[in-house]
Structures are given as structure tokens and as C-alpha cells.
A = this chain, B = another copy of it.
Amino acid sequence: MAHHDFTPTIYHTAIGSHEPVLRIASGDTVSTTTIDAGGLDKEGNSVSEGGNPQTGPFYIEGAEEGDSLGVTFDHLMPNRSWGFTSARVAPNVLDPGYVPKFDDNVGRHIWEIDFDKKTTRIAEACEPGPIRRGSGKPVTGPLAKLELPLNPHPGCFGVAPPRRQAISCATSSTHGGNMDYKRFNEGVTVIFPVFVEGALFHVGDGHAVQGDGEIVGTGIEIPFEVTFTVTLHKGKTINWPRAENDTHILTIGNARPLDQCVEHATTEMIRWLTSDFDLDERTAHTLLGQAVEYDIGNIFDPAYTMVCKFPKHILESIGAKRQ
């Protein structure tokens, strides 16, 4: 149950079987930092190429293929006072042939964090080019009044994928990756299938705020302080990432089209309910039929993400105890 403070010096833009940066045991906690999606650190200095550069990988002692790895996010908070967003909804989220009626040369917004109020506002609009605080001009009109509550969450994280693959941090699959799901925030535990020795957990792509789907291609991109605790489940094989928060158990499908994400996530939820909660499959189907919930994750990138959720209070009310 050690606590590790880890300062990264190398970042990866694909999740794979890279050299571990730290070896930890099940139960250990790590406090570290991530840089923003564009590779800028907390000082605004470019320390990596862009594309959701990841801190890690962290090697979990004893993890091997067929296990699963729980990662609890104990603390998630931006460590820089500003982040940035893109300004245009992706064409793949709009009707084919729909052309937005504003200049294609859109630039980006820089948002300022109010750590006391836990909110954020647009500070400046920047021309295209390298992101730099102070390089833009103030916004006017309705956007000048916009104030959104912080919801810090990492957009991209996961474990090394199977078959010696290294998968771009732009996309996602069974190993996690760029899921961009706004409820992977403080307190959640995400559980991954383990495909390689040591599991090799990576984390990055912090968002201060994000709408469903990350449809402009960014949340408010910002570097993070991250503290997480790992729990190794020996011999507990799962097919897709699972998660749990105060209110729900969740399963995650990453694929394209969204219909296929639904299939993966729903099937994984049935597996979970029937294997761990002492429910027969007929019961699981009836429960899902009248009480399942779905949320959208990333719908911007090559693979989309759909989350299947079931309320814990219903499981408790019917005496479906976790075994």
C-alpha cells in the first residue's frame, strides 16, 4: 500500500508495451502529473509532440493476461490556470454536406480556471497556430458571459493492448484509450482487462470540462495533477472496460458505429450482472430492459464510445449482492 510520487519525463502518443516508468504493487497509490493534449506542460512549455501524450506506463507487479486491473482516480485537478478548446463541431457529427457558416480559419479559445469557484470562463480567442496564453484577444457577446463548472477528468487512459500492438491515443478499444467520457471523474474506479505482463497503465489528456461526445475534438485541454490507486484482480477476466462510481456500475464499448459500441457495452453488462451479482441471465435481461441507462463518450475520433450504466440502488433493493 505504498504511495509513490512520480514526476514524468517521457510521454507516449500511442498506448503500448513501452518501457515502464515505475513498478508498483496492487494497492499502491501514485501521485503524478499529465501534460495537455497538445504536449504543453503546466508552465505552457512544449515538452512532447501533441496527440494526447500519456504519462506512464506504470507496471503493476504480478499482473498478467487474463487478470483485470482496477484504477481509482483519487484526485484529479488541473495544475495550470488555463486550458484550450477548438471551435468547430466535427463534420462527422453533422449532416453530410452541412457546411458551418463561419470562417474555416477558426483558431481556438483559451479558458481561465477559477480554482476557488471551481469554474472556468473564456479568456481569449486565438488565431490558429501554437497555443500560447496571452496571444489572443478577448471574446465579446454571449461567450464572454459563459461560466461553466469544472469537471476534471482524463480523456485518454488505459492499459497496453494485446498482440504487441501500440494504439494511437486518438482512438480506443478494449484496452481503453481515448474514451473522452466526462463521468470518468474523481472517485470513479475504472477496471481494465490485462493483456500484457504488468498491465502497463497510461494516463493523460486532462479535460477541465467537456460536453458529451467531445464533438469539437477537445474538452478544455489542460495538464493535471492525478492521484490514482490500483487494484489487481487475479484471474478475473473481463472483455471490455468496466467502471463504478457512487451511483452506477458501468461498462464501456469502444468501436464504430455507435451501434457496435452499444452491443459491446450491453453484452459486457450482462456478463457482469450474471457473473458477479448472483443474478440469472433472464433476470439480468429484465432489469436492463426497464432500468438500463446509456451515456455517450467520444464521438469525434475513429472509434466511438458508448457507456452502459445500471443503478446500484436497484441492485441493492433486490438483494443482488456482489459476490
Q: A residues engaging B (CB < 8 A)?
A: 12-14, 16, 51, 85-102, 106, 109, 122, 141-143, 145-148, 162-170, 209-216, 218-220, 255-260, 262-264, 266-267, 270, 274, 279-283, 285-296, 299, 302, 304, 314, 317-320
Of the candidates A279, A289, A319, the one having the most CB atoms from chain B within 10 angstroms of its own CB is: A289
Q: Is the CB of A292 within 8 A of B212?
A: yes
Chain B residues with CB below 8 A from A214, complex form = 289
Q: Is the CB of A145 within 8 A of B259?
A: no
Q: Is the CB of A211 within 8 A of B289?
A: yes
Partner of A259, one of B141, B219, B257, B293: B257
The closest CB in chain B to the CB of A17 belongs to B166
Number of copies: 4
Q: Is the CB of B94 within 8 A of A141?
A: no
Once A85-B286, A89-B288 are accepted as A-B contacts, the answer to whether A259 and B299 lie under 8 Å apart by CB is yes
Task: Offer 12 A-B interface pairs, CB within 8 angstroms, sorted by A.
Answer: A90-B97, A92-B263, A93-B263, A102-B281, A142-B318, A146-B317, A146-B318, A162-B168, A213-B292, A215-B266, A256-B259, A259-B299
Once A142-B319, A318-B143 are accepted as A-B contacts, the answer to whether A99 and B99 lie under 8 Å apart by CB is yes
Partner of A218, one of B90, B218, B256, B289: B289
With A and B bound together, what is the CA distance between A147 and B287 in angstroms? 11
Q: Is the CB of A262 within 8 A of B213?
A: yes
Q: Is the CB of B255 within 8 A of A257?
A: no
With A and B bound together, what is the CA distance between A286 and B216 in angstroms? 8
With A and B bound together, what is the CA distance between A98 and B258 in angstroms? 18
Q: Is the CB of A163 within 8 A of B51?
A: yes
Q: Is the CB of A91 within 8 A of B96?
A: yes
Partner of A258, one of B218, B258, B283: B258
Nearest Cβ on chain B to A143's Cβ, whole angstroms: 6
Q: Is the CB of B317 within 8 A of A89?
A: no
Q: Is the CB of A165 within 8 A of B167?
A: yes
Chain B residues with CB below 8 A from A286, complex form = 85, 87, 109, 122, 143, 216
Of the candidates A259, A286, A295, the one having the most CB atoms from chain B within 10 angstroms of its own CB is: A286
The 10 A-B residue pairs with the shortest CB-CB distance, nearest first, are A91-B97, A216-B289, A91-B96, A258-B258, A257-B257, A142-B318, A92-B96, A211-B292, A95-B267, A145-B318
Q: Is the CB of A317 within 8 A of B94?
A: no
Partner of A270, one of B94, B96, B166, B287: B94
With A and B bound together, what is the CA distance between A167 and B291 in angstroms? 29
With A and B bound together, what is the CA distance between A292 and B299 in angstroms? 12
Nearest Cβ on chain B to A169's Cβ, whole angstroms: 8
Once A90-B96, A168-B165, A215-B289 are accepted as A-B contacts, the answer to whether A101 and B281 lie under 8 Å apart by CB is yes
